[in-house]
Structure 1
Amino acid sequence: MSDESHEPLKRLFFALDCAPAQRKSIAQWRSALQLRNGRPVPAENFHLTLMFLGAVEVAHIAEICTAASKVRVPGVPLRVALDRLDVWRRSGVLVLAPEQASPELLRLVYGLEQAMLPFGFEDALKEFRPHLTLMRDYRVPVPESATPPEFFMRADHFTLFESHKGRYRALAQWPLAPP
């Protein structure tokens, strides 16, 4: 074991942030479902994960940011439909997901995965399934909804977040389109 193993670690992930007004409308829609199972994700934590990095040594964050800044971005803001309610049984989560992920979103994720390969992140081996998590520890079928989910997340940047004690803090962000 090298001395590097004593480096402080941070749990990091890349994501598209959810605008405050959108968080509020998604949270209101979720509360109308009157769910009695699982733990609600706090609305301020709503986001769409692009790539989960996991525990990262603080010393590598600057290099990760440099690599992320070189990812080819769509050149336009992303618009992601969140129009399907789904339960992922293995993870025990209730999610909002797009019926169909846009090619721009998939290219951005692929670019990030490629940029992170030199750091040894294995997340690239998992299939990317865009989603916004509504509930954790959710163990029942998909709830009936009086109004179908019809949300559109608009993102003009992507963000590197740190997850710390259930709170998410933005560490850096990069525009998806030229200003």
Structure 2
Amino acid sequence: MSDESHEPFKRLFFALSCAPEQRRAIAQWRGALQLRSGRPVPAENFHLTLKFLGAVGVAQIADICTAAAKVRVPGVALRVVLDRVDVWRKHGVLVLASEQAPPELLRLVYALEQAMLPFGFEDSPKEFRPHLTLMRDYRLPVPESETPPEFILRAEHFTLFESHKGRYRALAEWPLMP
């Protein structure tokens, strides 16, 4: 069995990170739902995934970063309104979703997908749906909330994260405004 420190792959994804005060507010709101199903995503892991890459050879990371740096960014800070609670049964997750994805966000996701094509990552088979995962292994209906969600995720950069043992670590980030 090989020692994990020599593993040539990392699990990577591009995302918009969530400001600490926003993570606290979302975690507090989730707590008020008094959920009885699933595993809560740690608040420090809250993010909005742009493109999941999966297992990536360590040798490829520098080239991926170079390609990401050339992505045509929106030129403005992004505002994504998370105003809907949803259950994605197939994945067993409870998510905060966006009723209306901003066009700048969709353009950024498309540009990232195009930039990653040469690396052979599978193109996303489904339409991009902006969301923030609240719970995993969630098997109940959409919970009722006294306070409807209305969180505005503001992002001035996008980030390449590594997922390792349930923790997310930023590897690189790029500004959304020139």
Same-fold call, TM cutoff 0.5: yes
Structure-to-structure mapping, 1:126-137, within 5 angstroms: 126-137=126-137
Taking the aligned partners of 1:155 and 1:90, their CA distance within structure 2 comes to 29
Other structure's SS at 1:105 match? helix
Taking the aligned partners of 1:51 and 1:129, their CA distance within structure 2 comes to 11
**Residues 97-137 of structure 1, C-alpha deviations (whole Å, 9 max, x = no match):** 10010100000000000000000110433321110000000
1:24 alignment counterpart: 24
1:90 equivalent in alignment to 2:90 = yes
2:164 alignment counterpart: 164
Other structure's SS at 2:163 match? strand
Superposed displacement of residue 7, structure 1? 6.5
The farther-off stretch of 132-141 and 119-128 is 119-128
Q: TM-score, length-normalised on structure 2?
A: 0.95
Taking the aligned partners of 1:7 and 1:39, their CA distance within structure 2 comes to 28
Q: TM-score, length-normalised on structure 1?
A: 0.95
Taking the aligned partners of 2:53 and 2:27, their CA distance within structure 1 comes to 27
**Residues 157-177 of structure 1, C-alpha deviations (whole Å, 9 max, x = no match):** 000000000000000000001
Other structure's SS at 1:124 match? coil
Q: Is the 8 A contact 2:117 2:123 kept in 1?
A: no
Q: Is the 8 A contact 2:82 2:150 kept in 1?
A: yes
Identity between Structure 1 and Structure 2 (%):
83
Q: Is the 8 A contact 2:82 2:151 kept in 1?
A: yes
Number of aligned residue pairs: give it: 173
Q: Is the 8 A contact 1:16 1:50 kept in 2?
A: yes
- Structure 1: stretches of 5+ with no match in the other structure: 1-5
Taking the aligned partners of 1:78 and 1:132, their CA distance within structure 2 comes to 15
2:173 alignment counterpart: 173
Superposed displacement of residue 83, structure 1? 0.2
Taking the aligned partners of 1:123 and 1:170, their CA distance within structure 2 comes to 23
1:106 equivalent in alignment to 2:102 = no
Q: Is the 8 A contact 1:7 1:59 kept in 2?
A: no
Taking the aligned partners of 2:71 and 2:153, their CA distance within structure 1 comes to 21
Q: Is the 8 A contact 1:51 1:123 kept in 2?
A: no
1:120 equivalent in alignment to 2:120 = yes
Q: Is the 8 A contact 1:15 1:159 kept in 2?
A: yes
Other structure's SS at 1:129 match? coil
